[in-house]
Structure 1
Amino acid sequence: ASRKDGSVLVLQETDRSILVVHPTDPIQFTTIPLTSLKGYPAAAELLVGNPSNKGPEGITVDPESGRVFVGIEGQPRLLMVVSPELDEIVEIIPLSRDAGFISERVDDDELDLSGLAWTPSSRSLWIVSDKGRQIFVYNPESKSVKSISLTFTVDGKQKEVKHPEGIALDETRGLLYILTDDAKKSRLYVFNIPKF
């Protein structure tokens, strides 16, 4: 996730940290463990039973406010809102069934999140789910959720995008990019951004 100052944030799932790549010469790195952030104890209470392979999975930045959004994959699914200074978790939002995170494909405990993207025009997060094979468009202010199935048509037959892991949007060109993680069948899909 890129920031206004030219730095790039990389989420490291295994050690549960944010790596800041600074645009210096030579390039410098700063590692910020999520556990070091003010407000982390509240998140830790929710993540007591969280398996190591269901940790931080997606990161994006609201360039206007500088807020950083970190998605926790599952058990439970959480959205952490981190301060622009990367020193505090200012909000923890459960992405639960009650909040509208529902899939017809998988049970609630199997539904995950894989990647995040921010859209300045609608001030919304686009959250892709691998297991659900769908996108949740989440407005953090109104707490509203809309769902988009990841399907496309080939020779008149409807198919699903399998193993979607990454998401990006180019609002200027009206394009939605979905990257899959499926070994030799991995693909980059390009869609027109759906209208609501």
Structure 2
Amino acid sequence: MLAVAARTSRWRLIANALLLLVLTAVLIAGHLLHWDDQLRLYWREQSVDAMQRTASIWLPDYELALETTLAGLEEDETSGLTWNPLSGTLWTVTGQNPQLIEFTPGGVVLRRIRLTGFSDPEAVEALDDGRLVIVDERRRLVAVLNPEPELESIELDDLAIHDLGFPDAGNKGFEGLAWDPLGQRLLLAKERDPLGLFALPFPGEDGAVGALEALPNQPLLVRDLSSLAIDPRSGHMLMLSDESRLLVELDLQGEPRSFISLFGGLNGLVQGIDQAEGVAMDGEGNIYVVGEPNRFFVFSRRSEVAR
């Protein structure tokens, strides 16, 4: 009886040890895959009623429609993305070799503009009049330019610039940028330390840039901020997180409304998006994402993808 009890005790210890190992592995996997972020967002998403969904972007309805690469940018590291409705084209910036790149919604590169004097351009955004605003993360500034058709290069010193502050931010400064046409202001995302959203009135009543101000927001439920975009139809914001591998919709009150995961095997993605760095949205509701070094993705509503 004692031998049987001893064997039973040993097997119980082994079973408990295996269970502990499994639970540890699940917790580690959950941390690495950011399941905690997704579970919190999923819980918020379940409280959205049918009327709110209709008035939303509603990301669960989206699926990958195109995945390709931006030719010739393999060594340049694309970062940031914007849609210009006046030209019907997209713009991105590159950090390794500072450039401003224009390309089609199908991923065909149309032209490059050299950015001389820039240190680390991380975001670009089109204004209502077609001008472009670029964020230089290391220099902690925004610069404004007019991308005229014949323009091949531009000097930072020749542009109107605005200091964004945070002198100790280093390489954890502003990465996201979006234009809010209703508020006539730029919305900026600070990557981390502290993570947050800010507004920059642009221009003010006298034509000058206003003062940068932190936006009061609900907890953003992501680990970093890579890029922002505004839906021109609903006014809702798209918030891209590289580390959490998530694209999140925020409503007009700044609360999470819906999300999609950027891991492989979901929403039409095969390999997933490892380093998502820029998001943009056009007037038709198509969502565009760039990832380092030069990957390009288009997401459309499932009804549109099926056509």
Counterpart residue number, 2:57: none
- For the Cα contact (< 8 Å) 1:54–1:73, is it kept in 2? yes
Classify the secondary structure of the residue corresponding to 2:192: coil
Counterpart residue number, 1:2: 126
Counterpart residue number, 1:101: 220
Residues 162-194 of structure 1: CA distance to partner in whole angstroms, max 9, x if unpaired? 11001011231x32111111x4xx410111158
The structure number with the bigger radius of gyration is 2
Matched, 1:92 2:214: yes
Q: Which has the higher contact order (CA 8 A, sep 6+)?
A: 2
Structure having the larger proportion of residues in strand: 1
The verdict on how the C-alpha distance between 1:54 and 1:188 changes in structure 2, with shifts beyond 3 A counting, is: same
Counterpart residue number, 1:190: 298
- For the Cα contact (< 8 Å) 1:76–1:94, is it kept in 2? no
Q: Tell me the distance in 1 between the aligned counterparts of 2:279 and 2:269.
A: 24
Aligned residue pairs: how many? Answer: 166
Counterpart residue number, 1:59: 177
Classify the secondary structure of the residue corresponding to 2:171: helix
Counterpart residue number, 2:136: 12
Counterpart residue number, 1:41: none
Residue 159 (structure 1) shift: 4.4
Percent identity reads 27
The verdict on how the C-alpha distance between 1:51 and 1:94 changes in structure 2, with shifts beyond 3 A counting, is: farther
The verdict on how the C-alpha distance between 1:163 and 1:194 changes in structure 2, with shifts beyond 3 A counting, is: farther
Say which of 169, 173, 181 aligns to 2:281. Answer: 169
Classify the secondary structure of the residue corresponding to 2:184: coil
Q: Tell me the distance in 2 between the aligned counterparts of 1:33 and 1:192.
A: 37
Counterpart residue number, 2:255: 144
Counterpart residue number, 1:68: 186
Residue 102 (structure 1) shift: 2.3
- For the Cα contact (< 8 Å) 1:176–1:193, is it kept in 2? no
Say which of 12, 29, 39 aligns to 2:159. Answer: 29
- For the Cα contact (< 8 Å) 1:10–1:20, is it kept in 2? yes
Using structure 2 for the length normalisation, give the TM-score.
0.48
Q: Tell me the distance in 2 between the aligned counterparts of 1:135 and 1:100.
A: 15
Specify the code of the residue in structure 2 equivalent to 1:87: G
Classify the secondary structure of the residue corresponding to 2:159: strand
Residue 151 (structure 1) shift: 3.9
Structure having the larger proportion of residues in helix: 2
Unaligned runs of 5+ in 2: 1-124, 204-208
- For the Cα contact (< 8 Å) 1:77–1:94, is it kept in 2? no
Counterpart residue number, 1:134: 246
What RMSD over aligned residues (CA atoms) do the two structures have, in Å?
2.9
- For the Cα contact (< 8 Å) 1:62–1:118, is it kept in 2? yes
Residues 88-138 of structure 1: CA distance to partner in whole angstroms, max 9, x if unpaired? 22x41366xxx24225xxxxxxx1111111112121111101101101212
Unaligned runs of 5+ in 1: 36-43, 104-110
Residues 53-74 of structure 1: CA distance to partner in whole angstroms, max 9, x if unpaired? 1101011101233211011000
The verdict on how the C-alpha distance between 1:64 and 1:101 changes in structure 2, with shifts beyond 3 A counting, is: closer
Using structure 1 for the length normalisation, give the TM-score.
0.72
Q: Tell me the distance in 2 between the aligned counterparts of 1:57 and 1:145.
A: 20
Q: Tell me the distance in 1 between the aligned counterparts of 2:262 and 2:240.
A: 9
Residue 142 (structure 1) shift: 1.6
Post-superposition, which runs of at least 4 consecutive aligned residues in structure 1 deviate over 3 A?
A: 22-28, 151-154, 156-159
Residue 145 (structure 1) shift: 1.1
- For the Cα contact (< 8 Å) 2:240–2:247, is it kept in 1? yes
